[in-house]
A = this chain, B = another copy of it.
């Protein structure tokens, strides 16, 4: 398969796939003409990575996950630990965003949003926030 075909099949842009090769995440073969030659296992890896990325795993996490996947003697505990760690990070990010969201929503609610210049949102931004 050429890069266009794996791009379609994996849902990843060709640019991204080339980038993944650059950083050593996949190592496709080459045709005589220099074109990348992807075989079934390459496509499989790319789909694996695409899925992991869609779950928010970093590229480095993906490297580890791929290695674990390739390692028949892995302990599932290793995978679970990695996933739990990542889950905790997502939870933290959600919590941070929710705090943001709530504050911002209060401000938006408080702002009448008409043609007058008086604005609680700007007032809040301009107020001193300790801590």
Contacts and interface: CB of A to CB of B under 8 A. Distances in A.
A30 interface: no
A31 interface: no
Contacts of A79: 111, 113, 119, 121-122
Nearest to A86: B104
Interface residues of A, number: 56
Contacts of A48: 125-126
B69 A114 contact: no
Interface of A: 44, 47-48, 50-52, 54-56, 65, 68-69, 71-77, 79-81, 83-84, 86-87, 90-91, 93-94, 97-98, 100-101, 103-105, 107-108, 111-119, 121-122, 124-129
